[in-house]
Amino acid sequence: MDINTEKFKSMKQIIKLIILISFFTVSLSAVKAAESYEKEVLGSSLVMPWEPKLALNEFPSHDPSIENGKWVYKQNCAQCHGDHPKDGFLSKKMMRARSPEEQYEVIKNGNAKGMPGFKDKLSRDEMWDALMYTRAEILGYYKLNSDELAKMSSIFGGNCAVCHGTRGHGDGNLHKALKPMPANFNMFERLYTRTDNKLHKELTHGIPWTAMPAWKNRIDFDQGYKFDEEMIWKLVRYVRQFGFSQELDRLDLGRKNLEEYKKSLETENKG
Ligand code: HEC
Ligand code: HEC
């Protein structure tokens, strides 16, 4: 009987030890969870919670120009992707699942599926222009001064601008009161790390622990429309268009003088 009591005592100690260890493990993972919560959710106080994969100096130095991109595309991409990217082999579904950042990397360095790298041929901004033109063509974009754009700006103005600002800079009337602050859609190193699918999901369900509401199935009785799936895709496109250089596109110029650029390529080809 004595021995049994002895055994019983040491059993008790082992159980105590196990309880102690599991307590530490639990509290350690709680600290870790709190840390990642802070990083992911309260992150706006940190410098960059969305952690781009590209170096900051690889993002566009100006707003990409669709007009310029169209031209770069014709010269460098059309032979494989077709005269219009939307008639080629890149599908809408695939484009929605890929972030601009990931695709820039492919255009720069190429991939094993037969996409050549352009880093020795095109400048960083030319690659971005061609990519954003390709994306805009396949995923759709709003033509300047179109009725569609006007309608979407009024929907954005009525529902989103109070936080995100009318030009999407994250500077709406409410922005100072919010933590994290509303997203700035003009910030490449944030928005270009996101896929369209992710933006669609965030718009549909909202972002937990932030002021970003879920929009799914809301109804705007004033203007008479519903935030159905299609409307949410339209909003994704709308959010994306902030980063385009529309001022320059309107002048049909791109950011460079295209004539000059074409000439410089011609002399390069001759030499
Ligand atoms: C020699 C033919 C060829 C040329 C030239 C070419 N591409 Fe591609 N591209 C491909 C192939 C093949 C793929 C792979 C398709 C796949 O991943 O299923 C691809 C993939 C892509 C993708 C998708 C990348 C991804 O992983 O999401 C983009 C975007 C793209 N190309 C844009 C361009 C642009 C912009 C240019 C011009 C600057 C260009 N391509 C020039 C053949 C080409
Ligand atoms: C009450 C304030 C508020 C309103 C209204 C609001 N948002 Fe947001 N939104 C936020 C905040 C705050 C964030 C940033 C959350 C974060 O940092 O994770 C955000 C994030 C987003 C994101 C995700 C950006 C990213 O980097 O992943 C998108 C897209 C977005 N908002 C679009 C919209 C659109 C479109 C509307 C209108 C239909 C809208 N928001 C209305 C506060 C708001």
Q: What is the pLDDT of residues 174-233, one digit of tens each?
A: 998 998 999 999 999 999 999 999 999 999 999 999 999 999 999 988 788 899 999 999
Q: Classify burial at 79, counting beta carbons within 10 Å of its beta carbon; exposed 0-12, middle 13-18, buried 19 or more.
A: exposed
**Is the C-beta atom of 161 inside 6 A of ligand 2?**
no
Question: Averaged over 51-56, what is the pLDDT?
Answer: 88
Rounded to the nearest 10 degrees, what angle do helices 229-241 and 196-205 cross at?
120
Q: Which domains does the chain have, with CATH numbers?
A: 68-141 (1.10.760.10), 147-243 (1.10.760.10)
pLDDT of residue 21: 61
pLDDT in tens, 30-40: 444 444 444 44
pLDDT digits 0-9 by tens, 103-130 = 999 999 999 999 999 999 999 999 999 9
Number of H helices, E strands in the chain: 13, 2
Q: What is the pLDDT of residue 35?
A: 46
Confidence category of residue 244, pLDDT binned at 50, 70, 90:
confident
Q: What is the pLDDT of residue 10?
A: 76
Q: What is the pLDDT of residue 5?
A: 63
End-to-end Cα spacing for the chain: 100
Are the beta carbons of 49 and 36 closer than 8 angstroms? no
Element (H, E) at 225: strand 225-226
Q: Quick one: tokens of 57?
A: 């100096």
Q: Which amino acid is at 34?
A: A
Residues forming a β-bridge with 220: 225
**pLDDT higher than 80, residue 99:** yes
**Is the distance from the beta carbon of residue 152 to the nearest atom of ligand 2 less than 6 Å?**
no
The more confident residue out of 17 and 184 is 184
What is the 154 CA–ligand 2 centroid distance (Å)?
A: 17
Average per-residue pLDDT for the chain = 83
Q: What share of the chain is helix, strand, coil (3-state, %, to 5)?
A: 60, 0, 40
pLDDT band at 61 (very low <50, low <70, confident <90, very high): confident
Using CA atoms, how far apart are residues 256 and 265, in angstroms rounded to an integer?
A: 13
Distance 32 CA to ligand 2 centre (A): 26
Q: Is the CB of 78 under 6 A from ligand 1?
A: no
Q: Are the C-beta atoms of 182 and 164 separated by less than 8 Å?
A: yes
Farthest-apart Cα atoms in the chain, separation: 102
Q: Which of 53, 81, 125, 265 to mutate to test the pocket of ligand 1 (most atoms within 8 A of CB)?
A: 81
Pocket test for ligand 1, best of 71, 98, 115 (most atoms within 8 A of CB): 115
Strand partners, 226: 219
Structure tokens of 250? 């309107």
The alpha carbon of 115 and the centre of ligand 1 are apart by a number of angstroms equal to 5
* Model pLDDT, residue 70: 93
Do residues 90 and 134 make contact, with C-beta atoms less than 8 angstroms apart? yes
State the average pLDDT over residues 235-255.
73
Judge whether residue 257 has pLDDT over 60: no
Predicted local distance difference test score (pLDDT) of residue 16: 73
Alpha-carbon gap, residue 170 to 194, rounded angstroms: 17
